[in-house]
Amino acid sequence: MAKLVLVLACCLTEFMAAAQEQTPAPVDLPPETVQSQYLLKRVAPIYPPLARQARIQGTVTLRIIISKTGDVRQLQLISGHPMLAPAAIDAVRQWKYKPYEVNGEPVEVLTNVQLNFALTNNPPTVIQMKPAEQTAANPPRRIRVSAGVASGLLQHKVPPEYPREAREQNIQGVVILRANIDTQGNVYKLEVVSGDPTLAAAAIDAVKQWKYRPFLLNGEPMEVETQVQVKFTLSQD
């Protein structure tokens, strides 16, 4: 009897080990890499009315697991005000990512997400404008280029106007935008990647007026996706 129990115990151990091998742990990736390279759909949180009335602001940090298909399958609250956390969770649950692959096979990803809640009159997240000369019959191809490459194509740059509210509160920093540029060098889509919401609207208003030289690939103009940094610094004068 004892021998039978020992055999069963060994079989169970081997079965559990095999199961663990078949379900590897998620790959832990830095938030900036996941959000800039793999985020396909971002839903902005709805500011809770009670939190707005109580003038509650702040950042909610979540620990999430992204499935092999790019869906958010698990969320854990790391930090943030209890009145803001449910709205952040409801929003991130709807986000969609491009699957992350290792050796050609999709794997789960473990990462952090931060959502900023700030009381502003115009809290922008995404701005969409109609691209020039885009037709359904001949949709332009788009490639991703680095910020340095895009900067070398910049012809006309409009500086942002410093928001009065941000100036009064001594808010400084960098706003990072994800920008789509059409084949004529016009910015037609902007999305906030990071930065203080008080500064984001001014950054978008400025960058949407920027003009680039067309990016040419084998002599053919291409649509471009890139990132743009807009710095806000209070002078000491």
HEC per residue, 182-227: CCCCEEEEEEEEECCHHHHHHHHHHHCCCEECCEEECCEEEEEEEE
Q: Tell me the two tokens of residue 234.
A: 């209070």
DSSP 68: T
Does residue 182 share a domain with residue 105? no
Does residue 112 share a domain with residue 166? no
Domain of residue 49, CATH code: 3.30.2420.10
Pairwise CA distance, residues 108 & 69, whole Å:
8
Domain boundary among 59, 84, 117: 117
Does residue 143 share a domain with residue 93? no
Q: What's the chain's average pLDDT?
A: 81
Beta bridge partners of residue 160, listed in sequence order: none
Least confident of 65-74, 113-122, 142-151: 113-122
Pairwise CA distance, residues 179 & 204, whole Å:
10
- The predicted pLDDT at position 139 comes to 45
In a domain, 71, yes or no: yes
Average pLDDT over residues 19-40: 76
In a domain, 218, yes or no: yes
Q: Tell me the two tokens of residue 64.
A: 């999430």
Share above pLDDT 70 across residues of the chain, in percent, rounded to a whole number: 80
Does residue 152 share a domain with residue 103? no
Pairwise CA distance, residues 170 & 116, whole Å:
18
In a domain, 21, yes or no: no
Does residue 150 share a domain with residue 113? no
Q: Tell me the two tokens of residue 134.
A: 């885009």
> For residue 144, what pLDDT band results from cuts at 50, 70 and 90?
confident
Does residue 85 share a domain with residue 46? yes
Residue 53 has pLDDT above 90, yes or no: no
In a domain, 24, yes or no: no
Share above pLDDT 90 across residues of the chain, in percent, rounded to a whole number: 42
Does residue 211 share a domain with residue 168? yes
Does residue 165 share a domain with residue 215? yes
Pairwise CA distance, residues 67 & 75, whole Å:
12
In a domain, 161, yes or no: yes
Does residue 210 share a domain with residue 158? yes
Does residue 111 share a domain with residue 163? no
Does residue 157 share a domain with residue 101? no
Does residue 105 share a domain with residue 42? yes
In a domain, 1, yes or no: no
Domain count within the chain:
2
**Neighbour count for residue 105 (Cβ, 10 Å):** 9
Q: What's phi and psi for 69, nearest 5 deg?
A: -95, 0
Beta strand pairing call for 27-28 and 109-117: parallel
Pairwise CA distance, residues 1 & 44, whole Å:
62
In a domain, 51, yes or no: yes
Distance of alpha carbon 121 from its chain centroid, rounded? Answer: 22
Length of the chain equals: 237
Domain boundary among 85, 117, 149: 117
In a domain, 69, yes or no: yes
Q: For residue 43, give its domain range.
A: 30-117
Residue 3 has pLDDT above 90, yes or no: no
